[in-house]
A and B are shown apart, each in its own frame.
Chain A
Amino acid sequence: MGEVMQKELIRLEGITKLFPGVRALNDVSFDVRSGEVHALIGENGAGKSTLIKIMMGVYEQSEGKIFIENKEVNYRTPAEALKLGLGAVYQDVTLANHLTVGENFFLGNLPRKMGMVDWNEIYSASQSTLDDLNINIDSQEIVGHLTIGQQEMVSIAKIIYQKANVLVFDEPTALLTNEEVEILFDLINRLRDRGYGIIYISHRLEEIFQMCDRVTVLKNGEYVDTLNVDETDENELVQLMVGRSVEDMYGIQHVENEEVALRVENLTGNGFQDISFEVHKGEIFGMFGLIGAGRTEICRAIFGADKYESGQVYIHGKPVHNKKPIEGIASSIAFLTEDRKKEGLCLGLDVEKNINLASYPLISKNGFINLKTERERAEKYIDEIRIKTPSRLQLCQNLSGGNQQKVVIGKWMCCDSDIFIFDEPTVGVDIGAKAEIYKLIEELIADGKAVILISSYLPEVMGLSDRLFIMSEGKCTGLVDRKDFYDEHGKLREDMALSRASGIMTD
């Protein structure tokens, strides 16, 4: 890269942020150059969002200086930050859903011609920005009709139109499908080539290696290091973030047991055809596939959240047909859904109620709850699975993602189920909590439980599973034993799993 491309756009020096009683950031420095994607990583609570909010004018730093193109600047609001060329795209896109793409571009600042709104200008200006960025969206489309991925594209185009040259992407891929991620990365690459400075925040380390030029690691509000991405690896980054290596995380004690807990025969339903498999007690049965491959749909059907057309499910050798979740629970299945906020937790209720949510019938008599047991169960699981919460009466909405996920796990442990289905259990969870969730899965299989693990992250699903069930477009394209996960050099055969998942390779 040439001299011009490496121009420094923004530099933060010695940033400290004090909240009442907490030092959220301590003497952190960070800079972004023109034409680079700079990753910012760290566990939850490491200070990433505080740093970004200071950069975006949401918070004011307690100490430290901000320089834009080497000139010291002071600003107090996001609007002032935007004027200085700083813009952010957040994971939950903030657009007005009922208005058109064009109107969203000019929200609060509609162009006027003789006192009337100039619709021509709105649609032509926004359309030319979209076209210029190769984003294939009509500026007259209603935002609510677009997919989340398209909405994200619109917000990016909007801040580009507003002349931002430093762009922050905060977990931009959290809600996107694999295809949309490709399109997003493509766009980010083009923005980099045009000399924008990009700050990229993500929990998914593989994205850092795919996308970024430099990476800065924060830990407990302190600056750890800034590295060139091509001079580091995942192991080093995890070490820097949590002081533990990747192998340690996936290195769990496996269990040998031939007893079948769950058998599925020729199951066919909405999104999957003719699926058969067995899961043993003490086994981690991995399910891998691209989004929409039908993994979640199968598990929902087995559990009774959705209907299926034909086929037979056996649990401990007995045929069952669950038509409602309550029947799934009764047949000893625990189902940890993919989207814990939408489907897993009552965020507005406290930890105690959420932990007991699925098992109230077990601790009640004639509809009356045994309050003592309720409290004891909550305390037991908070303690046992190390949920970090000030009290059992804390509302779940105030917990971090990892701890929310643990509450969901606790809820299902309360039901005393034999078969645990984990659907993307570590999405949006930081590395430390990830390791703890793996530890919990290890404890479950040691206890003779059968675990189905759905994950789109190959190192995770291959690192943990005893067998891997790979799907493409609703059909099984392979069932691989753990011993075949590695090639003769001991390297993980990710390409094999991927080509099966995309349907290129089948048995």
Chain B
Amino acid sequence: MLDKLRKSNWFRGYGAVLLVMILVFIAMSIINENFMTYDNMFNLARSTAVYGIIALAMTFVIITGGIDLSVGAHVGLAGMMVTLLTVREITSMPVAIVLSLATCALVGLVNGVLIYDGKLPPFIATLGSMTIIRAVILLISNARNITGLPPSFLEISKKTFGITKENYLGMKTTYGIPLMAVIWIIAILLSFIIFKYTTFGRNVFACGSNVEAARLSGISVRKTTYGVYILSGILCGIGGILLTSRVASGIPTLGTGYEMDAIASTVIGGASMSGGVGYVGGTVIGSILIATIGNAGTLLGLNTNYTEIIIGLLIVVSVLIDNFKRR
């Protein structure tokens, strides 16, 4: 039975991490009564959504054997752009959103060009673009938090699909799934579909596994490289807009350090940093796990440094287990 489990593809991928996630949920439900409540789950879903979307972006990049250090900067850029465009009433909100996402896609394309045509290592190319984007954000915002976002924009993160109930004071509350989580789920499904059903998805794996074999098999390495970095830019832009709506102002440092959480989620989910291996499901679980540990730490009143230690251990142990399974 155990041997069969070990051999199954399901377990080889990210079954062990799924098990850990379930255990964390069970343990927390027992330890803390505030964990398994609607309010906490609602908040957890909203914060995981942003992490989750960015981690998906990172998964595409990591499967090609690359890395995108500029994901957090993309979050900040999209957030600040959408804030400035709406607060200063330069364009309407929908146009502002589209423009921000287009800018992120363009920056992604630049990353792709630097990496494919400029032959820069992805680490260097995206380290450079991250640094530049961060500086640009500070310049356009004068390094200040920008407030005054319209209520319709803040509504994005509050919007919930579900049943609306009235309490005894006459206040209406909607119980259900937050829009942010819905967008995340759509991103997950799209990623699944891309990897399972499209040539682009197969090419992403092929380029990560052996780029020369892929080229000689007629796969366009250029399109694949551009594709993943553009996709990464757009997904991170979406993450940035959702996060800005949630924090209700344009924050110049928004998304700082998110690249590390995204890499961690992807690796915990069973991806290989050398490319060719990675799982959408694994990344989803990885991001849930990281967000949940953070959330649990807060509920239990743990010093955040302890939760960081746990996440660090999780990264190392999950890769150790992975190595062990491969033997």
Residues of chain B in range 1-26 having any CB-CB distance to chain A below 8 Å: 9
**Range of interface residues on B (Cβ < 8 Å):** 20 to 34
Task: Determine whether the beta carbon of A344 is less than 8 Å from that of B198.
Answer: no
Residues of chain B in range 205-225 having any CB-CB distance to chain A below 8 Å: 205-206, 209-210, 212-220
Query: Quick one: given A305-B216, A358-B217, A393-B9, are A346 and B200 in contact (CB under 8 Å)?
Result: no
Task: Determine whether the beta carbon of A349 is less than 8 Å from that of B206.
Answer: yes
User: A425 an interface residue at 8 Å Cβ cutoff?
Assistant: no
Task: Determine whether the beta carbon of B202 is less than 8 Å from that of A344.
Answer: no
Task: Determine whether the beta carbon of B217 is less than 8 Å from that of A325.
Answer: yes
User: A361 an interface residue at 8 Å Cβ cutoff?
Assistant: yes
Task: Determine whether the beta carbon of A369 is less than 8 Å from that of B217.
Answer: no
B116: min CB distance to chain A, Å: 14
Query: Quick one: given A357-B219, A393-B9, are A369 and B209 in contact (CB under 8 Å)?
Result: no
Which A residues are in CB contact (< 8 Å) with B202?
A: 353, 356-357, 360, 369
B103: min CB distance to chain A, Å: 25
User: A368 an interface residue at 8 Å Cβ cutoff?
Assistant: yes
Picked from B197, B198, B200, B205, the residue with its CB within 8 Å of the CB of A353 is: B205
User: A309 an interface residue at 8 Å Cβ cutoff?
Assistant: no
What 0/1 readout, one digit per residue, does chain B (294-325) give for beta carbons within 8 Å of chain A?
Answer: 00000000000000000000000000000000
The 4 closest A-B pairs by CB, nearest first: A346-B209, A326-B218, A358-B217, A348-B276
Query: Quick one: given A349-B206, A357-B206, are A325 and B215 in contact (CB under 8 Å)?
Result: yes
B204: min CB distance to chain A, Å: 11
Q: A364-B199, A368-B199 are in contact. List 18 more A-B contacts (CB 8 A).
A: A326-B218, A328-B218, A329-B218, A342-B212, A342-B213, A344-B216, A345-B213, A346-B213, A348-B276, A349-B206, A349-B276, A353-B205, A353-B206, A357-B213, A357-B214, A358-B219, A361-B199, A367-B199
Which A residues are in CB contact (< 8 Å) with B9?
A: 393
Q: Tell me the nearest residue of chain A to B211, going by C-beta.
A: A346
A342: min CB distance to chain B, Å: 6
User: A426 an interface residue at 8 Å Cβ cutoff?
Assistant: no
Q: Tell me the nearest residue of chain B to A361, going by C-beta.
A: B199
Task: Determine whether the beta carbon of A344 is less than 8 Å from that of B213.
Answer: yes
User: B81 an interface residue at 8 Å Cβ cutoff?
Assistant: no
Which B residues are in CB contact (< 8 Å) with A360?
A: 199, 202-203
Which A residues are in CB contact (< 8 Å) with B215?
A: 305, 325
Instruction: Count A interface residues, CB 8 Å.
Output: 30
Residues of chain A in range 323-347 having any CB-CB distance to chain B below 8 Å: 324-326, 328-330, 335, 337, 342-347
User: B277 an interface residue at 8 Å Cβ cutoff?
Assistant: yes
Task: Determine whether the beta carbon of A347 is less than 8 Å from that of B209.
Answer: yes
What 0/1 readout, one digit per residue, does chain B (256-284) give for beta carbons within 8 Å of chain A?
Answer: 00000000000000001000110000000
Which B residues are in CB contact (< 8 Å) with A369?
A: 197-199, 202
Q: Tell me the nearest residue of chain B to A366, going by C-beta.
A: B198
Q: List 8 A-B contacts (CB under 8 A).
A: A325-B215, A326-B220, A344-B216, A345-B213, A348-B276, A358-B219, A364-B199, A393-B9
Which A residues are in CB contact (< 8 Å) with B277?
A: 348
Task: Determine whether the beta carbon of B218 is less than 8 Å from that of A358.
Answer: yes
Residues of chain A in range 153-208 having any CB-CB distance to chain B below 8 Å: none
Most chain B C-beta atoms within 10 Å of own C-beta, residue among A324, A348, A411: A348
Residues of chain B in range 171-220 having any CB-CB distance to chain A below 8 Å: 196-200, 202-203, 205-206, 209-210, 212-220
User: A371 an interface residue at 8 Å Cβ cutoff?
Assistant: yes
A352: min CB distance to chain B, Å: 10
B273: min CB distance to chain A, Å: 13
